[in-house]
Structure 1
Amino acid sequence: MTIKTRFAPSPTGHLHVGNIRTALHNWMFAKKHGGEFLLRLDDTDEARSKEEYVTAIRADLGWLGINPDSEERQSARFDRYEERFEELKAAGHVYPAYETAQELDLKRKVQLSRGKPPTYDRGALELTEADIAGLEAAGRKAHWRFKLDHDTPITWTDLIRGDQHFDPALLSDPVIRREDGSWLYMLPSTIDDIDMGITHVVRGEDHVANTAVQIQMFHALGADTPDFAHEALLVGTEGKLSKRLGSLGVGGFRERNIEPQSIIALLARIGTSDPVEPIADIMTLVDGFDFSRFGRAPARFDDDELAQLNQKIVHLLDYSAVKDRLPDGMTATAWEAIRPNLHDMGELDHWWQVVTGPVTTCELTADDREFVNQAHDALNDLPWSETIWKEWTTALKQSTGRKGKPLFMPLRQALTGLDHGPDMGALLPLIGRDAALERLQNASA
Structure 2
Amino acid sequence: MTVTRFAPSPTGYLHVGNLRTALFNYLIARKASGQFILRLDDTDPERSKPEYADAIQEDLEWLGLTWDRVERQSDRLDRYAAAADDLRAKGRFYEAFETPVELDLKRKKQLNMGQPPVYDRAALGLSEEEKAALRAERGQGVWRFLLDRGRIEWADGILGDLSIDAASVSDPVLIRGDGQVLYTLASVVDDTEMGITHVVRGSDHVTNTATQIQIIAALGGRLPAFAHHSLLTGPQGEALSKRLGTLALRDLRENGVEPMALLSHMARIGSSQPVELAGSLEELAEGFDPGHFGSAPTKFDVEDLYPLTGRYLHTLPLSAVAADVAALGVPDDLADPFWTVARANITTRADLAGWWALFRDGATPLVADEDRAFVAEAFAMLPDLPYTADTWADWTGAVKQATGRKGKPLFMPLRKAVTGLERGPEMADVMPLLQKKPAL
Category of TM-score, reference length = shorter chain: over 0.9
The equivalences for 1:94-109 within 5 A come to: 94-109=93-108
What is the identity, as a one-letter code, of the residue corresponding to 1:328? G
Question: Does structure 1 conserve the Cα–Cα contact (< 8 Å) formed by 2:387 and 2:434?
Answer: no
Report how far residue 312 of structure 1 moved.
2.6
Question: Does structure 1 conserve the Cα–Cα contact (< 8 Å) formed by 2:391 and 2:428?
Answer: yes
| Mapped pair 1:423 → 2:426 | yes
What is the identity, as a one-letter code, of the residue corresponding to 1:33? A
| Mapped pair 1:125 → 2:124 | yes
Report how far residue 331 of structure 1 moved.
1.6
| Mapped pair 1:63 → 2:62 | yes
Distance (whole Å) between structure 2 residues aligned to residue 245 and residue 34 of structure 1: 36
> What is the aligned partner in structure 2 of residue 223 from structure 1?
221
> What is the aligned partner in structure 2 of residue 348 from structure 1?
352
Question: Does structure 2 conserve the Cα–Cα contact (< 8 Å) formed by 1:262 and 1:280?
Answer: no
> What is the aligned partner in structure 2 of residue 49 from structure 1?
48
Distance (whole Å) between structure 2 residues aligned to residue 373 and residue 207 of structure 1: 72
Q: State the SS of the aligned residue for 1:269.
A: coil
Distance (whole Å) between structure 1 residues aligned to residue 54 and residue 68 of structure 2: 17
Question: Does structure 1 conserve the Cα–Cα contact (< 8 Å) formed by 2:386 and 2:432?
Answer: no
The verdict on how the C-alpha distance between 1:300 and 1:372 changes in structure 2, with shifts beyond 3 A counting, is same
Distance (whole Å) between structure 1 residues aligned to residue 138 and residue 381 of structure 2: 97
Distance (whole Å) between structure 2 residues aligned to residue 413 and residue 365 of structure 1: 13
Question: Does structure 2 conserve the Cα–Cα contact (< 8 Å) formed by 1:16 and 1:245?
Answer: no
Distance (whole Å) between structure 1 residues aligned to residue 12 and residue 156 of structure 2: 30
Report how far residue 149 of structure 1 moved.
1.7
> What is the aligned partner in structure 2 of residue 14 from structure 1?
13
> What is the aligned partner in structure 1 of residue 329 from structure 2?
328
| Mapped pair 1:190 → 2:206 | no
> What is the aligned partner in structure 2 of residue 180 from structure 1?
178
State the superposition RMSD in angstroms. 2.1
Q: Which moved more, 1:392-401 or 1:342-351?
A: 392-401
Report how far residue 369 of structure 1 moved.
4.2
- Given the two structures, how large is their TM-score scaled by the length of structure 1? 0.92
* Structure 2: unaligned runs, 5 residues or longer: none
Distance (whole Å) between structure 1 residues aligned to residue 279 and residue 390 of structure 2: 31
Aligned residues: 434
Question: Does structure 2 conserve the Cα–Cα contact (< 8 Å) formed by 1:378 and 1:396?
Answer: no
Identity of aligned residues (%): 47
Distance (whole Å) between structure 1 residues aligned to residue 163 and residue 350 of structure 2: 50
Q: Which moved more, 1:9-18 or 1:272-281?
A: 272-281
Distance (whole Å) between structure 2 residues aligned to residue 423 and residue 281 of structure 1: 30
The equivalences for 1:59-208 within 5 A come to: 59-151=58-150, 153-208=151-206
Distance (whole Å) between structure 1 residues aligned to residue 238 and residue 370 of structure 2: 57
Report how far residue 310 of structure 1 moved.
2.5
Q: State the SS of the aligned residue for 1:48.
A: coil
Per-residue Cα deviation, 1:337-357 (whole angstroms, up to 9, x for no partner): 111211222111010111122
Per-residue Cα deviation, 1:99-126 (whole angstroms, up to 9, x for no partner): 1111111111111111010011111111
Report how far residue 406 of structure 1 moved.
2.4
Question: Does structure 2 conserve the Cα–Cα contact (< 8 Å) formed by 1:17 and 1:245?
Answer: no
- Given the two structures, how large is their TM-score scaled by the length of structure 2? 0.93
Per-residue Cα deviation, 1:115-169 (whole angstroms, up to 9, x for no partner): 0100111111111223223323434422100111224x31111110111112222
The verdict on how the C-alpha distance between 1:62 and 1:397 changes in structure 2, with shifts beyond 3 A counting, is same
The equivalences for 1:288-327 within 5 A come to: 288-326=287-325, 327=328
The counterpart of 2:343, out of the listed 319, 339, 342, is 339
* Structure 1: unaligned runs, 5 residues or longer: none
Per-residue Cα deviation, 1:318-368 (whole angstroms, up to 9, x for no partner): 323222222332522211111121122211101011112244345565864
Per-residue Cα deviation, 1:373-418 (whole angstroms, up to 9, x for no partner): 44553646x9964333234323433343212232123322343344
Q: State the SS of the aligned residue for 2:199.
A: strand
Per-residue Cα deviation, 1:237-292 (whole angstroms, up to 9, x for no partner): 11132334422111221232111222111111100011112334333222111011
What is the identity, as a one-letter code, of the residue corresponding to 2:346? L
Q: State the SS of the aligned residue for 1:45.
A: coil
Q: Which moved more, 1:216-225 or 1:142-151?
A: 142-151
What is the identity, as a one-letter code, of the residue corresponding to 1:309? L
Per-residue Cα deviation, 1:50-85 (whole angstroms, up to 9, x for no partner): 111111111111111111111011111111111121
